[in-house]
């Protein structure tokens, strides 16, 4: 039967058009929505067709990875001057102790023609330095994980707002009728994480729930309930869905409720996803040299590295917003073993994703973002001069990088003070980042609103936010 009966069904509905304007128009309208998003978007020509957001959850240390402060050596073990701290709130984990300075413990070197400083823990990233735009002056308002991550992804510290991916899939719609517009991939880790990844991080908030991120799981069912039970062959499912559609259609004739036609379409989409998702998540057709490029971990399903390959496959299939989460960057202690472990997980695959997209000619239209919800403080947590030392959360400054899609590559934007404590020049608030990402997608963040509870909401909220021109080529 395959798609045949669906086509018949569609023709049937459209044939009814003259007599049944409501249902037919609804069907027509929905068809449009599914392909093009909001009619007024994009506001202007887009540089990016899609986004791959490599979310590093827990707060990676800018001091160990990117923000090189050789001058700190002379401050080692000394108390952070109050003039620098300037009233910054601490978490209750360290608010009771002296703020003794722990200089970055890694070696840095310059990479590429741009000469970006990158830590020894990220050797592969250095190879693509000239494709990256580092933002060293990121800043946020929140100091604890859940509120900070919620703000980082939804623009507001409290749950309930749509995530960036949901906004974008709502606004721009889908480029693939067999897959959802917004997909989420989470690294599979052995260790229980201290920071759960709440589903509101990719939630749709007050937007219709069809725009929420769909999590691709690393299990038999990459999407919940996707797989038919064993013993139910595909052609029987097809027959059952045909029977279902026929009876639903009889009922539509009687009730004229357009929801019924939508339901028929959604059952068909479900059927198509049952084929398209396993095809997508099965990496066995990728050649060896791809796995070699992404590193040994990429052969292990569910790893960050394997998810990076999946992200590229999703990009190839036209998925609009692809978001990876790599947990466990919350390094309150033992930076040498703990922080370096997360670097090891992510360095090679992140760099490989950039190379891979570039080789395939896709980097120009794909915006890649790397970063976490905040940074880490210059004071050591625990005994500062022991390898046991770690760092507490720090919202005032942190580093992110972006690549592709009209981003100014081979460059570093913004700077922190000598202590990597305050932003010294060109601050980029999380809101500014949101505005800039929207801009690359052809959206004016001020004009992209949704009315809920009587208010016009937007991702960037009510406070001032700007597209950061210095990040754009």
Partner 1 sequence: MFSGVSFGMFRQMFKSLFPFLIVSAVQAEPISFSRDVLPLLSDNCLTCHGQDESHRKADLRLDTQESASEVIKSGDLIARIISDDPEEIMPPPKSHKPKLNTEQIDTLKRWIAEGAKWGKHWSFEKPVKVPAEGNPVDFFVKAKLAQKGLKLSKAAPEHTLKRRLSFDLTGLPPSSEQTVDSLLASPHFGERMAMWWLDAARYSDTDGFQSDATRTNWAWRDYVVESFNANKPFDQFTLEQFAGDLLPNATPEQKIATCFHRNHMTNGEGGRDKEESRIDYVIDRVNTMGTVWLGLTLGCTQCHSHKFDPITHSDYYSLNAFFNSIDEDGAAGTAAKPYLSYQSPHAKRAVAEAQQLVDQRKPIEGKARQEAEKPFAKWLSERQSNVKADFKAWHDVRGLLESQEGTELAQDKDAIVSASGPNPKQDDYRLIAPIKLPRITGLKLEVLPQDGVLSRGKTGEFILTDIKVQVRRKGSSQIRDILVSNAVADTKIEGKAREYGDVKGTLDDDPRNGWTTKGFPKDQPHTALYALAKPLVLDSDEELIFELRHRSTNGDANIAKFRLFASDQPGPAVRELAPSTLEQLAKGHIEKDRLMAQFLEDHAPYQTAKASLDLATAQLKEVTTAAGKLNVMVLAERKEPRDTHVLVRGVWDKKGDVVKRDVPAAIAPWPADLTRDRMGLAKWLTSKDNPLTARVFVNNLWQMFFGAGLVRTPDDFGLQGQRPSHPELLDWLAVDFMEHGWDVKHLIKLILSSETYQQASNQTDQADPTNLLLSRGPRFRLPAWMLRDAALQSAGLLNSALGGPPVRPHQPEGVWEEIFMGRFTYEPSQGAAQHRRTLYAFWRRSIAPTFLFDSAQRRVCEVSMTRTNTPLQALTLLNDETMMEAAQALAKQMLASPNDRLQLLYQAVLTRQATPRELSVIQRELDRALTHYRDHPADAAKLKSTPELAAHTLIASLVLNLDQAMTHE
Q: Which of residues 417-456 bind partner 1 (CB under 8 A)?
A: 446-447, 449, 453-455
Phi, psi of 322, deg, nearest 5? -120, 120
Structure tokens at 94: 């360290």
Considering only 34, 127, 130, 246, the residue that binds partner 1 (CB under 8 A) is 246
388 contacts partner 1 (rule: CB under 8 A): yes
Structure tokens at 325: 């989460």
Q: How far apart are the first and last CA of the chain?
A: 51
> Applying CB under 8 A, which part among 72-80, 123-131, 313-321, 385-393 lies near partner 1?
385-393
301 contacts partner 1 (rule: CB under 8 A): yes
105 contacts partner 1 (rule: CB under 8 A): no
Considering only 175, 283, 415, 424, the residue that binds partner 1 (CB under 8 A) is 283
Length of the chain: 473
Nearest distance, CB of residue 96 and partner 1, angstroms: 11
Q: Considering CB under 8 A, how many residues would be counted as binding partner 1? A: 104
Q: Which residue has the tokens 């799981």?
A: 217
Q: Which of residues 40-79 bind partner 1 (CB under 8 A)?
A: none
Cα(393)–Cα(395) distance, integer angstroms: 7
Closest by CA position to 124, among listed 397, 385, 348: 348
Q: Which of residues 325-364 bind partner 1 (CB under 8 A)?
A: 327, 333-334, 336-338, 340-341
Q: How many other CB atoms are found less than 10 A from the CB of residue 78?
A: 12
Nearer to partner 1, 361 or 454 (CB): 454
22 contacts partner 1 (rule: CB under 8 A): yes
Q: Which of residues 182-221 bind partner 1 (CB under 8 A)?
A: 186, 188-200, 203, 208-210, 214, 217, 219, 221
Q: Could you give the angle at which helices 4-15 and 234-255 cross, rounded to 10 degrees?
A: 10
175 contacts partner 1 (rule: CB under 8 A): no
Nearer to partner 1, 335 or 369 (CB): 335
Strands 182-186 and 321-326, how do they pair?
parallel
Nearest distance, CB of residue 463 and partner 1, angstroms: 11
34 contacts partner 1 (rule: CB under 8 A): no
Considering only 247, 279, 360, 383, the residue that binds partner 1 (CB under 8 A) is 247
What SS3 string covers 66-95? Answer: CCCCHHHHHHCCCECCHHHHCCCCCCCCCC
* Beta-carbon contacts of residue 158 (< 8 Å; ≥ 6 apart): 147, 150
Structure tokens at 155: 């623009």
25 contacts partner 1 (rule: CB under 8 A): yes
């Amino acid at each position: 039967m395959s798609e045949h009966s669906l086509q018949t069904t569609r023709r049937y509905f459209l044939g009814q058009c003259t007599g049944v304007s409501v249902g037919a128009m609804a069907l027509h309208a929905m068809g449009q929505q599914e392909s093009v998003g909001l009619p007024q978007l994009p506001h202007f020509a887009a540089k990016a067709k899609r986004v791959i957001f490599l979310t590093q959850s827990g707060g990676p240390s800018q001091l160990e990875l990117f923000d090189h402060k050789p001058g700190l050596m002379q401050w080692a073990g000394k108390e952070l001057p109050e003039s620098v701290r300037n009233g910054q709130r601490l978490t209750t984990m360290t608010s009771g102790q002296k703020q003794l300075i722990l200089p970055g413990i890694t070696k840095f070197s310059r990479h590429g023609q741009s000469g970006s400083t990158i830590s020894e823990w990220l050797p592969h990233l250095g190879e693509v330095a000239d494709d990256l735009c580092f933002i060293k002056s990121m800043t946020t308002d929140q100091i604890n994980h859940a509120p900070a991550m919620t703000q980082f992804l939804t623009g507001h510290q409290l749950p309930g707002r749509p995530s960036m991916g949901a906004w974008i899939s709502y606004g721009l719609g889908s480029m693939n009728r067999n897959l959802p517009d917004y997909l989420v991939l989470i690294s599979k880790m052995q260790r229980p994480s201290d920071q759960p990844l709440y589903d509101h991080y990719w939630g749709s908030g007050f937007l219709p729930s069809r725009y929420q991120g769909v999590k691709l799981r690393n299990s038999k069912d990459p999407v919940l309930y996707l797989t038919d039970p064993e013993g139910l062959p595909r052609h029987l499912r097809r027959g059952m869905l045909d029977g279902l559609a026929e009876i639903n259609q009889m009922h539509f004739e009687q009730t004229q409720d357009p929801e019924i036609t939508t339901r028929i379409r959604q059952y068909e989409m479900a059927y198509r996803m049952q084929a398209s998702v396993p095809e997508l998540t099965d990496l066995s057709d990728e050649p060896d040299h791809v796995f070699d490029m992404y590193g040994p971990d990429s052969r292990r399903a569910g790893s960050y590295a394997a998810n990076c390959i999946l992200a590229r496959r999703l990009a190839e299939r036209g998925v609009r917003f692809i978001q990876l989460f790599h947990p466990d960057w919350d390094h309150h202690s033992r930076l040498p073993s703990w922080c370096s472990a997360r670097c090891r997980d992510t360095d090679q695959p992140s760099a490989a994703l950039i190379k891979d997209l570039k080789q395939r000619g896709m980097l120009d239209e794909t915006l890649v973002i790397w970063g976490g919800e905040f940074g880490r403080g210059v004071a050591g947590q625990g005994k500062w001069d022991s390898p046991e030392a770690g760092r507490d959360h720090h919202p005032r400054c942190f580093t992110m990088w972006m690549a592709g899609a009209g981003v100014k590559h081979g460059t570093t934007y913004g700077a922190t003070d000598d202590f990597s404590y305050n932003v010294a020049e060109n601050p980029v608030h999380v809101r500014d980042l949101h505005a800039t990402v929207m801009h690359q997608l052809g959206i004016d963040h001020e004009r992209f609103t949704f009315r809920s509870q009587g208010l016009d909401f937007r991702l960037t909220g009510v406070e001032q936010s700007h597209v950061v021109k210095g990040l754009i080529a």
